[in-house]
Structure 1
Amino acid sequence: EQLRWQREHGSAAWRQLRFVELGWHGTNIAGGRYHDARKVALGDDLFLRLAYYDQANFLMAAAIHTPGRTLEHRRPDGLIEGHAYSVLEVQEMHGVRLVHLRN
């Protein structure tokens, strides 16, 4: 896989990718798009991008970074740092912006 990515996208693109160990690791990802995770969007820009990706039926996931921790940690708002979530839906209603996550 690494050699194919380097050939098609260049070695710099390969070094910028961030990988996680998944249960289906080894599934062929050829032909899929990737996004440089180091490009950060904040505030309005982040929400508008998420809403656009939701309307375009992109597969999205979210996680919260765990600074200095190796295990999952539950926050006061109920979300868990270091845990992956599926993004099911992005909506704005009456000025309230919502991101529907699945555990």
Structure 2
Amino acid sequence: MSKSDRAETQHNHRMSTVFSLLGKAHTLAILKEFVLDDDAPIRFGELEDELDISPNTLSRRLDELVEAGFLERTQYDEIPPRVEYEMTQMLNDLEPMFRELDEWMDRYCSE
């Protein structure tokens, strides 16, 4: 396998990994809350109230998005416990794409 073939294979693998995560149920809805709203941190409970997602699924998706580098999780040593999530620079860099996708969906996927 040539050097360019290996590079293309690695690129395709990385792209496949990203699309696999983004394609999971509720992932885009979660990211949309961060990208299309203000830049303030969002608490788990706020996401739970805003989105129609079970707490277990929401928790799994948030963990995956933190692990992938899209979100940053901050846990505060308080009672009751407080956990906030913020978008990272990596997700912030995707903001124009999300805005265009949102406009595209309004244009072609409206009910």
> TM-score band (shorter)?
under 0.3
Greater share of residues in helix? 2
**Larger RCO (alpha carbons 8 Å, 6+ apart):** 2
